[in-house]
Amino acid sequence: MSDTPPPPGAGPLVLNMQYTKDLSFEVPGAPGIFATLREQPAIDLQLDVQARPIQEGENLFEVTLDIRADAKAQDQVCFIAELTYCGIFTINVEEADLEPVLLVECPRLLFPFARNILAEVTRDGGFPPVFLSPIDFVALWQSRRGQAMENPVGNA
């Protein structure tokens, strides 16, 4: 973090840009899956949040939402969707507040856009759109912190 004060008008958190870093949609059983699909697929969702500084000593960070949706019906894979959605943020907060801003507030801003992309790609792929439920990023962050405390680095 830089010791220089933020310019006038700059808030503690600024979303400079957002973008799709990676998007993959696969229907391994096409076209047969469409003929045999008789029920709503069961969807297994996985979500991860990562953050990294773009330049050391700066207050510019890339925050990444990784979302994977695996859909199955009748023991057949219907589709696999993977999305890596990112934002570039300028963050002007105290060092003690940096982690919750990066892993809670930033993903909260990115989530609606990633949710929309996933819904559209699954719909455009011939399936009902996958609408992600709201994510409690505070609980996700606290869970991650709890796991880190239980498994400190260096312990086998």
**Is-contact 19 83, C-beta < 8 A?**
no
| Confidence label for 123 from pLDDT (cuts 50, 70 and 90) | very high
Which residue shows structure tokens 């949706």?
69
Domains, the chain: 13-150 (3.10.420.10)
Whole-model pTM? 0.83
**Mean of pLDDT values over 81-89:** 97
pLDDT-wise least confident of 1-15, 38-52, 56-70, 122-136:
1-15
Residue 1 confidence (pLDDT): 44
The rounded distance, in Å, linking the Cα atoms of 42 and 31 is 19
